[in-house]
Amino acid sequence: MIVVLSGGVGAARLLRVLRRAAPDEEIVAVVNVGDDLVLHGLTICPDLDTIAYTLAGLSNDETGWGRRDESWRVMDELATLGGDAWFRLGDRDLATHLYRSQRLAEGATKTTVTAELVERWGVPVRLLPVTDDPVRTRFSTAIGPLSFQEYFVRHRHDVTVADVVVEGAAVARPTAEVVAALDAARRVVVAPSNPVISIGPLLAVHGVRDLVAARRDDVVAVSPLIGGRALKGPADRLLRELGFGTGHAAVASAYEGLLGRLVIDESDAAEADVLRSGGLEVTVCPTLMGDPDRDARLAAAVLG
Ligand code: GDP
Ligand code: CA
């Protein structure tokens, strides 16, 4: 089994790449739920949905979020009513949140509801929310405390962050499925997701960091930075603002004690020696996904 610690887009893209090199039955994504929110009374799980939509071929790859062939009649009507329309939920996407919320209200766990949705959409790999307990990533910022989506969507992550807190993480427990997967995995892959706000909240769930550390020799991370910058989103900025530094060394530092190996982009080969002198194993290969030949090399580097 190959367990992939996952946020949203970066993880969805890596999972697509890994499917080229490993059978679907072997791939399990353990997914962050720190971005999850309740809006309009509906439970929304952005990272789980991003991965499921992407792997089922339903995602909108232009926006990087939501469904393709989407319409916005509900949001438009909500806006005329003066409702909260800044977090855009398309009509098809809303059906997902209606289904999930109803099942949760009936007593199903997030793990069960995810399995149901994944089956219906034909998602080829297993998706496990890291916990069924409530956790919420929150930000202390220059303009005051913000929820995840206030920070990320409303303010477009363009505010200075002093601290990231994952509410509920200390009492949340990983699911039995997650514990078993981390135990049995022949490889634990850390996706090139945001280390601070995607992977950090997942590791913060009580016990998960220790489970990953126990597998350290088999843990390989793909860095989300290329040329010192995130391809999209605030990973580089947050690593700097929270004191981890810059470049791949910042990623290594955010994952201190957890990594057997770090995969960095070929254009950053000059950083490898310094990382290695810190005792880390480093693989240099193409990490910008989207080209079949490069993707095959990345998959081989991660799984080899
Ligand atoms: P979100 O939860 O949807 O915001 O996304 P994630 O946290 O999973 O991933 C965001 C990160 O993915 C960003 O920091 C990007 O740099 C990284 N990312 C996206 N595509 C690629 C890629 O092709 N290669 C690498 N190395 N990183 C990528
Ligand atoms: Ca996310």
- 78 burial via Cβ count (<10 Å: 0-12, 13-18, 19+): middle
Ligand 1 atom having least distance to the Cα of 222: 26
Q: Which helix (H) or strand (E) segment is 250 a member of?
A: helix 247-254
- Report pLDDT for 181: 98
Strands (DSSP E) along 154-200, which ranges? 161-167, 187-190
DSSP secondary structure letter of residue 98: H
Q: How far is the CA of 192 from the centre of ligand 1 (A)?
A: 5
182: buried, middle or exposed (CB in 10 Å: 19+, 13-18, 0-12)?
A: buried
The interaxial angle of helices 91-105 and 110-121, nearest 10 deg, is 140
Give the pLDDT score at 230: 98
- Tell me the ligand closest to 12's alpha carbon: 1
Burial group, residue 119, by CB count within 10 angstroms (0-12, 13-18, 19+): exposed
Q: Which helix (H) or strand (E) holds 13?
A: helix 9-18
Gyration radius of the chain's alpha carbons: 19
pLDDT tens over the chain, length 304 residues: 999 999 999 999 999 999 999 999 999 999 999 999 999 999 999 999 999 999 999 999 888 889 999 999 999 999 999 998 989 999 999 999 999 999 999 999 999 999 999 999 999 999 999 999 999 999 999 999 999 999 999 999 999 999 999 999 999 999 999 999 999 999 999 999 999 999 999 999 999 999 999 999 999 999 999 999 999 999 999 999 999 999 999 999 999 999 999 999 999 999 999 999 988 999 999 999 999 999 999 999 999 8
The pTM score is: 0.97
Could you tell which of 6, 50, 148, 194 is best to mutate to test the pocket of ligand 1, judged by most ligand atoms within 8 Å of the CB? Answer: 194
Per domain, the residue ranges of the chain are 2-303
Q: Does domain 2-303 have CATH number 3.40.50.10680?
A: yes
Report the pLDDT value the prediction gives residue 282, as an integer from 0 to 100.
98
The Cα–Cα gap between 261 and 175 comes to: 26
The atom of ligand 1 lying closest to the CA of 235 is 14
Q: What is the atom index within ligand 1 of the atom nearest the CA of 198?
A: 7
Tokens of 52: 């499921």
Is-contact 194 223, C-beta < 8 A? no
By the CB criterion, residues less than 5 angstroms from ion ligand 2 are 7-8, 35, 47
CA-closest candidate to residue 250, choices 275, 277, 284 = 275
CB 193 within 8 A of CB 6: yes
β-pairing, 144-147 vs 281-285, is: unpaired
List, as own/partner pairs, every contact residues 245-252 make where C-beta atoms lie below 8 angstroms and the sequence separation is at least 24, other chains included.
Answer: 247/271, 248/223, 248/275, 249/274, 249/275, 249/278, 250/225, 251/195, 251/221, 251/223, 251/224, 251/225, 252/278, 252/280
- Closest ligand to residue 199's CA: 1
Give the pLDDT of residue 278: 87
